[in-house]
């Protein structure tokens, strides 16, 4: 009964050249470009801006999005949107730029609500202006999701605004925008996409045939292409396949849900300003290992999709395949320089982390294993070690 949809994908090398035509088709006169300082200084955002300039597109620009966008940033973007009389958004970047722009779009259409008041599920419920997502990483999936992650700078609480109206109209997947991405960011964002695919597949109640298929396909693509892209940033085929994987994983978790990995990762991002992809990469194997037997069957299917364990192998019980899958995630993290844990987590913060994580996950997320405070602490302590 809900209006589920997918962002329209515009794929391939040079696909950003299609943006002016799409703007014209949508009747858009003045988009607001939202991006971050790093992409401006690196010249990545200028690849899109040059396309717009050459086509004579009139636009406004906000280029100060921080790594974990804050409520203040969302409100600044909304102010500029209204001040410049814009009629649409083009978000260029990783999840931070897209999430900040989504938050601002929600504020534009719901001016009487604060950002905090829209945190949670289905609290916007109003169509936002046309939204173009132009990812420069392959991981967040924000180009096709219902979510915008925002940090309250006063409390350090990081939470999600989640509403179907926040799904972008277009997702422009141009691998040329990712070829100069540093190897460490390629690794972290790629593992973020894997976390989306895995958690979506493990959700018990909300999956559909399409989301299951997308989660499996994204898992396969990530295991086949992430380390290729990590080792050679100019491998545009691997880069494109990772963008497609991110898109598919994003759709899968938008439809099926996420789980305890994300709930804990959000607390670490809010308190310590840790990059979301890095937090997910570290926490993923720890949480799914903690789940144990209830997820062996599903993890075994993911292992098969990833080519880690052959289907029907003589010694390939679901438990062995599941544990092989977890071991390979850890091995891949190690090969790409991702740490095993976060020793910066302080004991005094753990009770608050547990409270926030459990409040986020229960009862909204259709997790395979429900954590209580004791189990959540066990996981966080392992993340900390």
CB neighbour list of residue 166: distance below 8 Å, 6 or more residues apart: 102, 105, 106, 124, 128, 131, 145, 146, 147, 148
Give the pLDDT band of residue 364 (cuts 50, 70, 90).
Answer: confident
What is the pLDDT of the chain when averaged over all its residues?
94
Beta bridge partners of 60: 32
The pLDDT, as a whole number, for residue 231 is 96
**ω into residue 180 within 30 of 0, thus cis?**
no
Domain-located, residue 2 = no
DSSP state string for 315-337: T--HHHHHHHHHHHHHHHHHHTT
323 with 374, same domain: the answer is yes
The pLDDT, as a whole number, for residue 321 is 94
CB neighbour list of residue 355: distance below 8 Å, 6 or more residues apart: none
Domain with residue 224: its CATH number is: 1.20.1090.10
Domain final position from 123, 158, 177: 177
For the chain, what percent of residues have pLDDT higher than 90?
86
Over 70: is that where the pLDDT of 312 sits?
no
Give the pLDDT band of residue 230 (cuts 50, 70, 90).
Answer: very high
Give the pLDDT band of residue 153 (cuts 50, 70, 90).
Answer: confident
Domain final position from 177, 210, 225: 177
Cα separation of the two ends of the chain:
45
380 with 335, same domain: the answer is yes
The pLDDT, as a whole number, for residue 5 is 86
Cα 50 from Cα 33, distance rounded (Å): 12
Domain-located, residue 85 = yes
197 with 170, same domain: the answer is no
Domain with residue 71: its CATH number is: 3.40.50.1970
Domain-located, residue 153 = yes
Question: Structurally, how many domains does the chain consist of?
Answer: 2
196 with 338, same domain: the answer is yes
- pLDDT, tens only, 86-140: 999 999 999 899 999 999 999 999 999 999 999 988 999 999 999 999 999 999 8
Question: Which two structure tokens, joined as six digits, stand for 71?
Answer: 């409520």
- pLDDT, tens only, 60-84: 999 999 988 999 999 999 999 999 9
Region 27-43: mean pLDDT is 96
CB neighbour list of residue 291: distance below 8 Å, 6 or more residues apart: 202, 368, 369
Least confident of 75-79, 155-159, 323-327, 336-340: 155-159
319 with 268, same domain: the answer is yes
Domain hosting residue 88, numbered range? 8-177
Over 60: is that where the pLDDT of 313 sits?
no
Over 90: is that where the pLDDT of 207 sits?
no
261 with 339, same domain: the answer is yes
353 with 367, same domain: the answer is yes
The pLDDT, as a whole number, for residue 68 is 86
Torsion on CA atoms 340, 237, 178, 332, rounded to nearest 10: 0
171 with 208, same domain: the answer is no
154 with 199, same domain: the answer is no
Over 80: is that where the pLDDT of 1 sits?
no
Domain final position from 130, 146, 177: 177
The pLDDT, as a whole number, for residue 316 is 73
- pLDDT, tens only, 233-267: 999 999 999 999 999 999 999 889 899 999 999 99
Domain-located, residue 1 = no
162 with 228, same domain: the answer is no
Phi, psi of 149 (to 5 degrees): -90, 125
């Amino acid at each position: 009964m809900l209006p589920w949809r997918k962002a329209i994908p515009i794929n391939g090398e040079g696909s950003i050249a299609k943006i002016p035509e799409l703007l014209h088709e949508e009747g858009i006169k003045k988009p607001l470009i939202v991006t971050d300082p790093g992409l401006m200084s690196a010249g990545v955002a200028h690849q899109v801006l040059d396309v717009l300039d050459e086509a004579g597109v009139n636009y406004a620009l906000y280029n100060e999005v921080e790594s974990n966008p804050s409520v203040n940033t969302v409100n600044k973007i909304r102010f500029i949107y209204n001040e410049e009389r814009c009629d649409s958004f083009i978000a260029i970047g990783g999840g931070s730029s897209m999430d900040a722009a989504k938050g601002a779009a929600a504020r534009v259409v719901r001016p009487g609500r604060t950002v905090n008041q829209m945190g949670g599920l289905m609290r916007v419920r109003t169509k936002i202006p046309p939204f173009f997502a132009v990812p420069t990483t392959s991981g967040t999936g924000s180009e096709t999701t219902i979510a915008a992650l925002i940090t309250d700078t006063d409390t350090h609480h990081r939470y999600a605004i989640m509403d179907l109206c926040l799904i972008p109209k277009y997702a422009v997947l141009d691998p040329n925008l990712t070829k100069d991405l540093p190897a460490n960011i390629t690794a972290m964002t790629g593992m973020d996409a894997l976390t989306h695919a895995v958690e979506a597949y493990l959700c018990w109640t909300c999956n559909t045939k399409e989301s299951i298929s997308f989660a499996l396909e994204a898992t396969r693509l990530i295991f086949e292409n992430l380390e290729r892209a990590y080792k050679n940033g100019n491998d545009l085929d691997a880069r494109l396949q990772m963008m497609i994987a991110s898109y598919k994983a994003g759709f899968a978790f938008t439809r099926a849900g996420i789980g305890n990995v994300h709930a804990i990762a959000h607390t670490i991002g809010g308190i310590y300003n840790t990059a979301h992809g890095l937090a997910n990469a570290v926490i993923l194997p720890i949480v799914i290992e903690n789940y144990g037997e209830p997820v062996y069957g599903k993890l075994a299917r993911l292992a098969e999709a990833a080519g880690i364990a052959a289907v029907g192998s003589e010694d390939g019980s679901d438990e062995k395949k599941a544990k092989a899958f977890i071991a390979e995630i850890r091995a891949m993290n190690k090969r790409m320089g991702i740490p095993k844990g976060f020793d910066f987590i302080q004991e005094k913060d753990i009770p608050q982390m547990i409270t926030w994580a459990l409040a986020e996950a229960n009862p909204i997320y259709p997790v395979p294993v429900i954590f209580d405070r004791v189990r959540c602490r066990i996981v966080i302590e392992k993340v900390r070690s």
